[in-house]
Structure 1
Amino acid sequence: MKQLKLFALLLAVVGLSSFEPAPSFTINGKINASGGKVYLKKFRNKMFFTIDSSRIVNGQFHFKGSVPRTDLYGLTTDRNESFSPYYIFIENKPLDVTIDVANRRTARIVGSEANDLYVKLQSKHDNFSIDSLVRAEPKSVVVAYILYREFSNDLSVKELEDNLAQFDPSLKDLYYIKELERIVAIKKRVEIGQPAVDFAGTTPDNQTIRLSQSFGHYLLLDFWASWCGPCRRENPNLVKVYNKFKSSGFDIFSVSLDKDKTAWTEAIAKDGLTWKHVSDLKFWDSEAAGLYAIRSIPSNVLIDPSGKIIARNLRGEALEQKLEEIFRQSAK
């Protein structure tokens, strides 16, 4: 009889354990807005995509759910906002969020250790070594995100590989780690000395042209967008070097990361960009940008007449000096 009672007790314990709730998060939010909705968005490739919404009632909003692992999300009152929501690292814990709509950059978030680390690192943005940070926090999703988002464009293949080797194996399936591995593979294919990767693009008048059609000149493959302030400030420099060297055999082939065709074409006209332009209007999902591991703009690749990459990310005086050197040697 005692054995039977013990067996029954074990069954009860097993039964109860099978109904233990899955880990989950709650977001209890306050916002100084009288109505509308707050949208919860998931991050991917420098963009945010809506996954849920909550109506604002009496200055409050709420979300509840479960995340497979701590990760970056965004909150915004604009359903169409895809680039700069309020950042929030969500983990399966209760979170309190306070949003001041007058502050477009940050929200006050309590309850997420990952978010605390992100805020801390942003406050020290120019005062830490990414190598040291990865070694100190090898299990951190936040650090993996920062390496991916802020350093993948400028670090060399070796620097990226060295940093990736420091992360804990528990992060091997993390989106940022897998993307960094993909970026490393692409960067190896488009390093200086490698042949430029060919692709086709659509012009403003809906014609299809290939990058290789412009080979035979010294060619600057330029990545930009109408919405990119640094790109627009660099455009006068491009106009200057184009006009100075086009008769010597220099050309430009621009790829825009725009998503609005009107904004793209108006910027071309306003900035006086009289060379070839293409765009698939896919924003950061631009296929051409993906082929060259472009993670920030403006970025460019200088290609010689044979189609070989000879320099990357030359801007302003550095680009002009490089072209001066090239055409001075060609004239000898």
Structure 2
Amino acid sequence: MIKSKIKVAKWALSIFIFATTCLYSQNISKNNVSMYKIHGTIKGDITDSFAYLYYNNVEDSVTIANNNFEFKGIVSDTVSAQVYIKSAENAPQFYLENNTIDIQISANKVNKDGKSVETMHIDGIKGSHSSQIQQEYLNFYQQNAGKKEFNKLLYSKLTVFLKKHRSHPFSGAILAELAMVNPILSKKELNTLYSILDITKQTDQDLRFFKKGIDRLGTYAVGKPFLDFELPDQNGALVHLNKFNGKIILIDFWASWCAPCRKKSPELIALKQQYSGTNFEIIGISRDKNSKQWNAAIEKDKLDWINLLDQDQKIESSLGIENIPYNYLIDEKGIIIGINLSPTEIGKILSANTKKT
């Protein structure tokens, strides 16, 4: 077992709440266990001999035997941690605490920018008190998201939830996501919730994302004009946003190598077909570096709308977008009427606002 002070910058990714599909089924009580013991199982064809655990600028390594590994140690507080193998492009995050934790991980090859890379994903965690806290929030969100005035319900829930878990780093991750990825609360509400947190227990990254999201909400929030831009289409011709004045536009940020992006494509195609003959239009903006792979994905997925390429991610940077898929819905006057909406939410808005052309 090797421990060293190392900064693993390449895997600095936030624990966004809905980016994981892990199911947590065990009921674990918070206890006074004096150390952590992590047993991990990796599903997939890997050749790595070592697994790595990284937290608080400390890296720990252990041998992988028959796709299994085990870490032992002590943490003074619950912390955000990453587990990974050197051959993988990413490092899944979880919350490390003094408990006996079982983690199931899958390793898969994916095509990114024309290259085959290995990615890791946490399929499930057992034995973690933190996972219970996460599941509590997830259950509330899923059970209430479709209700009228959900934003008021969420604000009320978080006021109580954050007071109870103000020192847990998951609380900071929630607010980072609500500011950066899922801005359904107002800037004032988010700042009020932020004041509840013990910020000394939150990750620097989540605090940075929260601030970045808050800054963006002042510029590109619902009710504000969208960014004016010009990008090349599949033929290299520059397309300006003002070309679509008078239309309701869904601007969808994606990439050919982004599996969640492409998983949503059939629903967007269905929306496009349902509202054909109206003033609704979709503009896809890709961050692909490989234009051939981009064009191939458009053809394969039958993305029959305006597709633009932003290889340098200048538009995403201006908007503060960190993760994809991501979208903005814009009205006929170029005003933002929705941010990062699901296809169902987009459909509800379109049913009330589109016009026949």
TM-score under structure 2 length normalisation: 0.60
1:89 counterpart = 2:118: no
Q: Secondary structure at the match of 2:276?
A: helix
> Which residue does the alignment assign to 1:309?
336
Residue 118 of structure 1 and its aligned partner are, at CA, apart by 2.5
> Which residue does the alignment assign to 1:233?
266
- Comparing both structures, which one devotes a greater share of its residues to helix? 1
Q: Secondary structure at the match of 1:106?
A: strand
Residue 189 of structure 1 and its aligned partner are, at CA, apart by 0.8
Matches within 5 A, 1:280-295: 280=310, 286-292=313-319, 294=321
Change (3 A) 1:281 1:78: farther
Q: Secondary structure at the match of 2:88?
A: coil
Change (3 A) 1:233 1:132: farther
In the aligned structure 2, how far is the partner of 1:56 from the partner of 1:130? 40
Q: Percent of pairs identical after alignment?
A: 18
TM-score under structure 1 length normalisation: 0.64
In the aligned structure 2, how far is the partner of 1:235 from the partner of 1:195? 23
Number of residue equivalences: 279
Contact 1:138 1:167 in 2 (8 A): yes
Q: Secondary structure at the match of 2:222?
A: coil
> Which residue does the alignment assign to 1:212?
241
Change (3 A) 1:106 1:262: farther
Instruction: State which of 138, 141, 164 in structure 1 corresponds to 2:166.
Output: 138
> Which residue does the alignment assign to 2:123?
105
Residue 183 of structure 1 and its aligned partner are, at CA, apart by 0.2
Matches within 5 A, 1:1-332: 29-31=39-41, 36-37=48-49, 39-40=51-52, 54-57=62-65, 61=69, 71-76=79-84, 79-82=87-90, 85=92, 87-90=93-96, 98-100=102-104, 104-108=122-126, 116-124=128-136, 125-127=138-140, 129-149=157-177, 152-156=181-185, 157-171=187-201, 174-205=204-235, 207=236, 209=238, 211-225=240-254, 226=256, 227-228=259-260, 231-240=264-273, 243-245=276-278, 250-256=280-286, 264-280=294-310, 286-292=313-319, 294=321, 297=325, 299-305=327-333, 307-312=334-339, 313=341, 315-324=346-355
Change (3 A) 1:70 1:121: closer
Q: Which moved more, 1:254-263 or 1:315-324?
A: 254-263
Contact 1:223 1:257 in 2 (8 A): no
Task: For residues 64-117 of structure 1, give each alpha carbon's deviation from its aligned partner in whole angstroms, at most 9, with x where no partner exists.
Answer: 99999854333245833538x3x43246x7x765444579512446xxxxxx34
Task: For residues 185-234 of structure 1, give each alpha carbon's deviation from its aligned partner in whole angstroms, at most 9, with x where no partner exists.
Answer: 101211233221124445445x3746535353425142243522652232
Task: For residues 250-271 of structure 1, give each alpha carbon's deviation from its aligned partner in whole angstroms, at most 9, with x where no partner exists.
Answer: 5432223567655543342234
Structure 1 residue ranges without an equivalent (≥5)? 1-20, 44-50, 110-115
In the aligned structure 1, how far is the partner of 2:268 from the partner of 2:288? 15
Q: Secondary structure at the match of 2:214?
A: helix
In the aligned structure 2, how far is the partner of 1:223 from the partner of 1:271? 14
In the aligned structure 1, how far is the partner of 2:80 from the partner of 2:302? 39
Change (3 A) 1:88 1:238: same
